[in-house]
Chain A
């Protein structure tokens, strides 16, 4: 399969930055035909960016391209669109399904590549009026399914299929492409049952045996060991390890994934856990919480949060850490019991939570956090006005907006949080991501809550703004004695800010550690219950 030792794929010195933010540095690895490469790393380690480069996704070009070379069979290639990549024999199965729900598996497998028969009318009106060759379609999809080695019903419509079969349909679609040489599987087992995952691994072995190279991205490390020929571990945009799978173990990989340089790790926990927190009373106790938040399902979480602490919640993406605040604050359907200050909080009712002096800064700034088309003043003052009747003047039964008070409070936070804007009447849409995030914080601060959930406060903002946001949170906690629960994908950030950190894995609490514990311990927790 290897021609003269030229590997099928060679990544050479790949570099990529998003507006000065270096996300990939000097990526080098090779992949032979028929080899299976396991790619792992924490969220944000650069796996997806790397795959996007390989697959020619638009977002790479739109953000200024990349440096370095991608060599396919020794030829330097640069894909302009995913379609170029497909034509060159690269297939990718994304995490989100890309299937037409009302079509059968066969129709989906051959979507837009259906074999056709010519007819009189198509001669006139063009190829799109060729009729589909259903027999040939059945044959081709059957062949692809056989190639995959997992039995699925080709005639079944997608909408009536179990999740696993949808995943297999996607894989079969890639396999049905004759030119396929390299298949990228992005966390394909995340949605599969154990049995199905087993079948998938078997089919990966099958494909490899037929000479197809596979890049397999997963958080389930034992799967990597079971099926891969080599393991590439990424961290912070670097390839930190590139070894044959036979020479690695789960604990090795975990260590490589989260392991920091020694000096960096030492610098991480900013302050020791404050003494008064150790035995402070429990202000919020969560028992058996489940939350139906798509993509962030919480299955069974029980936590106790102490008065006045900064509590961190971390974990890999999709494991359910974001579901916790969203569920408690009533934005997604939730069940279980939550007590705040000894009193139970009614779930599924944002109003009840806000009334109980809880506040929430959502990770979805544009969708949930802001009124993009309204002024900053409105954004900052709105919840406090509605919930606590602040910033209102009373004339008999009429409660009139007090523009002056609103202006004053907005001004106060603009100054305090160093929000860059032309005026407090500017629309929120016009601010940069970091400043929008600060507005979200200001909105929560204006509520003067006793308890604050902050979800992904630094997502999508630049380094300078990050520090400011985290400082503001810490100050708010120290000065006003507000209990803060911070949810973040970035472990380092949590370790710098929080007193204790719970790691969520598979929708459950994998463990709670003091921020000073070693990265390896956190890393082990992160992948411990991955579903």
Chain B
């Protein structure tokens, strides 16, 4: 009898988790087990995963508000990334250096994020039900528009403009004298002196924890509750006197701002700023990660973000070393593409009770 109940519970749990998620988790577990077998150092692997987690987690977090308010997966995240890039480059242009430039980057990017997010949110309110496709193309067209702007905005700082002509920003530039490591160096725990190849970027993780806590807290306030209700059943929310459009716009602004902060966090870890078409490459890893973490097109939580980012980044960092060592072929790139896009396709084909 007891066994029977637990079998039901297991099946329920399996169903809730979804098979793709389990397969990915199982695969990652397999990678961790195989890592020592193939001769790669487990501590190094763990360091890599944690590192990549700390870079990406905020970007994944940026998915949450929009999913909550029923706007679907935020394929328009490049908009937030652009706000972040504007903030970062302008902070440098204004002459800030070191960790201060990171703070200023966030400060400067905020009005852009609010502006972009506000416009984007109002657009999405006009096309309820078709958000995801439009979001994708809003991302694509805004990035290509900004490609022109990077060339036209009269940046002067020699360390970021093109070396020869002095006009237009470089494709990629290093942040060594600016905000590289602004968070990750803070309270860094380095176990290398003890002979263990483990480095924990405490600052970055704390920063993510702070933002994650803030989002979690927000979702527990009156407005946050309204946001969840809007996502869950917009008609119910409207009947309960909620201004659905306003809440949705707010969620989009939040997502966009988190996207901006997310890309800055990413850059401080990575150490470089990538411009032009690079923002487009931020979308899929973030979308895929939150889905792998257990979110659906209209439900997501902070734990989805943490689990998903760990799983996805684990997959991305571990496959190149472990699988390559195993079969002497680097299939990591292909696996990444299949897993991330397959996950999105899977999520899209799940039946949701109502399409807002």
Is there any pair of Cβ atoms, one from A and one from B, under 8 angstroms apart in the complex?
yes
User: Would B241 and A368 count as touching, CB distance under 8 A?
Assistant: no
Residue of B nearest to A354 (CB): B241
Given that A373-B299, A385-B225 are contacting pairs, would A331 and B238 also be in contact in the complex, using a CB cutoff of 8 Å? Answer: yes
Select B221's contact among A355, A382, A398, beta carbons within 8 Å.
A398
Q: Smallest Cβ distance from B124 to chain A, in angstroms?
A: 21
Does B239 reach chain A (CB closer than 8 Å)?
A: yes
* B229 in contact (CB, < 8 A): yes
Does A216 make an interface contact (CB < 8 A)? Answer: no
Task: Give the docked Cα–Cα distance between A387 and B236 (Å).
Answer: 13
Is B221 within 8 A of A400, CB to CB? Answer: yes
Give chain A nearest CB distance to B301 CB in angstroms: 13
Q: Is the CB of B353 closer than 8 A to any CB of chain A? A: yes
Q: Please, which residues of chain B bring their CB within 8 A of the CB of A238? A: none
CB of A71 closer than 8 Å to a CB of B: no
Tell me if A387 and B240 are in contact (CB < 8 A): yes
B313 interface hit (Cβ, 8 Å)? no
- Residues of B contacting A386 in the complex (Cβ-Cβ under 8 angstroms): 222, 225-226, 240-242
If A367-B235, A371-B229, A372-B353 touch, whether A389 touches B222 (CB-CB below 8 Å) is: yes
Q: Mark interface residues in A23-35 (1 if CB within 8 Å of B CB, else 0).
A: 0000000000000
CB-contacts of B164-205 with A (<8 A): none
Interface digits, B236-248 against A, CB 8 Å rule (1 contact, 0 not)?
A: 1011111100000
Query: CB of A420 within 8 A of chain B?
Result: no
State A331–B226 Cα separation when bound (angstroms): 18
Q: Which residues of A contact B268 (CB under 8 A)?
A: none
Asked if A360 and B239 make an inter-chain contact with CB atoms under 8 angstroms apart, the answer reads yes
Contacts of A368 in B (CB 8 A): 235-236, 239
Q: Which residues in A have their C-beta under 8 angstroms from that of B217?
A: 398, 400
Query: Residues of B contacting A350 with CB < 8 Å?
Result: 238-241
Q: Provide the bound-state CA to CA distance between A351 and B228, in Å.
A: 18
Which of B226, B236, B240 sits near A354, CB closer than 8 Å?
Answer: B240
Chain A's nearest CB lies how many Å from the CB of B300? 13
A382: which B residues are within 8 A, CB to CB?
Answer: 225, 229, 236, 240
Chain A residues with CB under 8 Å of B232's CB are 371-374
Neighbouring B residues of A362 by C-beta, 8 Å: 239
- Assuming the contacts A385-B222, A398-B221, A399-B222, asked whether A374 and B241 have C-beta atoms less than 8 A apart, the reply is no
In A340-368, the 8 Å CB interface with B consists of: 350-351, 353-355, 360, 362, 367-368
CB contacts under 8 Å to B, within A88-127, are none
B324 at the interface (CB under 8 A from A): no
A392 partner residues in chain B, CB cutoff 8 A? 222
Inter-subunit contact B241/A387 (CB<8 Å)? yes
Q: Is A511 engaged at the interface, CB distance under 8 Å to the other chain?
A: no
B156 at the interface (CB under 8 A from A): no
Q: Count residues of A near B (Cβ-Cβ below 8 Å).
A: 30
Bound: A382/B230 CA distance, A: 11
CB of A378 within 8 Å of the partner chain: yes
Give every chain A residue within 8 A of B354 (Cβ-Cβ): 367
B233 interfacial by beta-carbon distance below 8 Å: yes
Query: Counting CB contacts under 8 A, is B220 at the interface?
Result: yes
Flag if A374 contacts B235 (CB, 8 Å): no
Could you tell me if A370 and B233 are in contact, using CB atoms closer than 8 angstroms? yes
**Bound CA–CA A367/B233 (angstroms):** 8
CA distance A331 to B242 in the complex (A): 12
Nearest-neighbour CB distance to chain B for A404, whole angstroms, equals: 13
Residues of chain A within 8 A (CB-CB) of B243 are: 351
Residues of B within 8 A of A389 (CB): 222
* Chain A, Cβ-Cβ closest to B222: A399
| A353 / chain B contacts, CB cutoff of 8 Å | 241
A329 on the interface (CB 8 Å rule)? Answer: yes
- Mark contacts of A269-312 with chain B using CB atoms, 8 A cut-off: 1 yes-contact digit, 0 otherwise: 00000000000000000000000000000000000000000000
Give A389 to B241 CA distance when docked, in angstroms. Answer: 13
Task: Give the residue name and chain of the B residue nearest to A429 (CB).
Answer: B353
Chain B CB within 8 A of A401 CB: yes
The answer to whether A369 and B221 have CB atoms under 8 Å apart is: no
Q: Cβ of B220 and Cβ of A400 under 8 Å apart?
A: yes
> Which residues of A from 369 to 417 have beta carbons under 8 Å from B?
369-374, 378, 382-383, 385-387, 389, 392, 398-401
What are the residues of chain A within 8 A of B223 when measuring CB–CB?
399
Cα–Cα, bound, A369→B233 (Å): 9
Query: What is the CA–CA distance of A356 and B353 in the complex, to the nearest angstrom?
Result: 33
Which residues of B in the span 208-266 have a Cβ within 8 Å of any Cβ on A?
217, 220-226, 228-229, 232-233, 235-236, 238-243
Assess A401 versus B353: contact at CB under 8 Å? Given A331-B239, A382-B240. Answer: no
Give every chain A residue within 8 A of B240 (Cβ-Cβ).
350, 354, 382-383, 386-387
Looking at the assembled complex, report how far the CB atom of B128 sits from the nearest CB atom of chain A, in whole angstroms.
Answer: 15
- Bound Cα distance from A371 to B50, whole angstroms: 37
Complex interface: chain B residues within 8 A of A387 (CB): 240-241
* B299 proximity list for chain A (CB < 8 A): 373
Query: How far, in whole Å, are A429 and B354 apart by their CA atoms in the complex?
Result: 13
Which residues from A are CB-within-8-Å of B229?
371, 374, 378, 382
Flag if A372 contacts B233 (CB, 8 Å).
Answer: yes
- Give the residue among B221, B228, B243, B299 with the most A Cβ atoms within 10 A: B221
Which of chain B's residues have a CB closer than 8 A to the CB of A401?
Answer: 220-222, 224-225
* A362 CA to B239 CA, complexed, in Å: 9
Across-interface contacts of B226 in A (CB, < 8 A):
386
Residue of chain B at shortest CB distance from A374 = B232
Which residues does chain B contribute within 8 Å of A367, judged by CB atoms?
233, 235, 354
Task: List, in ascending order, chain A residues with CB within 8 A of B228's CB.
Answer: 374
A392 to B235, CA, bound (A): 23
Closest to B352 in A: A373
Q: In whole angstroms, how far apart are the Cα atoms of A433 and B229 in the complex?
A: 21
Partner of B353, one of A373, A378, A399: A373
Q: In the complex, which residue of chain B has the Cβ closest to the Cβ of A397? A: B221
Q: With A and B bound together, what is the CA distance between A360 and B241 in angstroms?
A: 11
Which chain A residues border B225 with CB–CB below 8 Å?
378, 382, 385-386, 401
Residue of B nearest to A369 (CB): B236
Q: Which residues on the B side are within 8 Å of A398 (C-beta)? A: 217, 221
Bound Cα distance A401, B232 (Å): 18
Closest to B242 in A: A386
Nearest A residue to B218 by beta-carbon distance? Answer: A398
Residues of B within 8 A of A355 (CB): 241
Q: How far is the CA of A400 from the CA of B219 in the complex (A)?
A: 9
Complex: A398 Cα to B353 Cα, angstroms: 33
Tell me the bound Cα distance from A223 to B354 in angstroms. 41
A195–B226 Cα distance when bound, in Å, is 51
A-B CB contact pairs (8 Å), 17 listed: A331-B235, A350-B240, A354-B241, A369-B239, A371-B232, A372-B353, A373-B232, A382-B236, A383-B241, A386-B240, A387-B240, A398-B221, A399-B222, A400-B217, A401-B222, A401-B224, A401-B225
In the A-B complex, the 5 residue pairs with the smallest Cβ-Cβ separation, listed nearest first, are A351-B241, A383-B240, A354-B241, A399-B222, A371-B232
Q: A362-B239, A372-B233, A382-B225 are in contact. List 18 more A-B contacts (CB 8 A).
A: A331-B235, A331-B238, A331-B239, A351-B242, A351-B243, A367-B233, A368-B239, A369-B236, A371-B233, A374-B229, A385-B222, A386-B225, A386-B226, A398-B221, A399-B223, A401-B221, A401-B222, A401-B225
